[in-house]
Structure 1
Amino acid sequence: MEIKKIEHDFSVCKVKDYSLVNLDAPYCFIEKTEEENSLVCMTENVPSNTVERDDGWRAFRIQGILDFSLIGILAKIAGILAENQISIFAVSTYNTDYVFIKKENYEKALEVLAHEGYTIVG
C-alpha cells in the first residue's frame, strides 16, 4: 500500500465560525458538532477568528481511493505507529484517510511504516 507524503505544515484549530476559512486552499478539513467548529488546515491558512490552535503537524494520506468495504486499513497503520510510541490524528474523507503526526515524529513514522512494507511516495 502506498503512503503519499504531504509537504505542508498543518494546524488543528477550533474556530468561532467558518466565515474566514479559505475553502480554496489545497487542504481544508472541517468538522462541526453541537460543541465546536473544528478545522484542520495548512498553518499558513489559519483564519484570524481561531479560538484555539495546535500547530506543528505534518501529514500523509493513504494513496488511492479506498472502498468503504475495506476493513482495518487505518487501524493497522495506527497500531503500527502506537507500538512505536507515535500518536496520530486522523481525518477520513470520502476517498481516503489522512494521518497527521507531530513534526518531531513524522520522519520516524514514515521510516517505521516503510519498514513494515508500506511504500512512501512524494
Structure 2
Amino acid sequence: MSKSTTLTLNVLKENFIICRLPSSSSVPSWAFNGPFCSITKTNDELSIITIDNDQLPKDIQCERNWKCFKFLGPFSFDMTGVLTSILNPLAKADIGILAISTFDTDYVMVKDKHLDMAIDVLKQNGHKVNM
C-alpha cells in the first residue's frame, strides 16, 4: 500500500462493549446482536465485542463506550500497511485503539470520547470517513 493510498472507513452508528468472560464460558446468545461482533477465546479468557444493550448481564467484566470504524475492503492478505496507515496517525494523536481483523477487512475501535478527534486525524491524513 503506498503512502498516498486513501482508505475509506465507515463509522458504525452503534455503541460497542468489550466483555471478558472466563475461558471456560460458552458463547452467550447476546454476543451476536448488531452489525458487528467479535469473539476470541484463549486459554486465559473469552473476549466478546458486541453492541451495548440491555441483554448483557450486570456481573460481566466490561469496558463500555466504544465506536467502530469499518475499513471498506476487501483487502488481499499480501497487501501491507493498511492498518498502520490508520494506527500510526491515531497513536501520534494519543488515541488508544482496539484493532480487529477479519478475512475481508479490518475494524478499529476508539473510545466514544475520542471519536471526533479520531475522525479529524484520519481525514487530515488523507482518509475518507463516512458517518
After TM superposition, the score normalised by the length of structure 1 is 0.90
- 1:6 aligned residue (6, 12, 17): 12
**Percent identical residues:** 26
Q: Aligned-residue CA RMSD in angstroms?
A: 1.7
2:33–2:51 CA contact under 8 A, matched in 1: no
Which digits, 9 at most, give the CA deviation of each residue in 1:55-108, with x for residues without a partner?
010011111201111111102211110001111001111111100000110111
Question: Which ranges of structure 1 fall in alignment gaps of 5 or more residues?
Answer: none
Query: In proportion to residue count, which structure has more strand?
Result: 1
1:57 aligns with 2:66: yes
Deviation at 1:48, TM superposition (A): 2.2
Question: Which ranges of structure 2 fall in alignment gaps of 5 or more residues?
Answer: 1-6
**CA radius of gyration, larger in:** 2
User: How far apart, CA to CA, are the structure 1 residues paired with 2:59 and 2:99?
Assistant: 20
1:102 aligns with 2:111: yes
1:43 aligns with 2:52: yes
After TM superposition, the score normalised by the length of structure 2 is 0.85
**Secondary structure of 1:108's aligned partner:** helix
User: How far apart, CA to CA, are the structure 1 residues paired with 2:72 and 2:54?
Assistant: 24
Higher alpha-carbon deviation: 21-30 or 87-96: 21-30
1:81 aligns with 2:90: yes
Corresponding residue pairs, total: 122
**Secondary structure of 2:60's aligned partner:** strand
Name the CA shift for 1:29/1:45 in 2 (closer, same or farther; >3 Å). farther
Name the CA shift for 1:46/1:82 in 2 (closer, same or farther; >3 Å). farther
Deviation at 1:120, TM superposition (A): 1.1
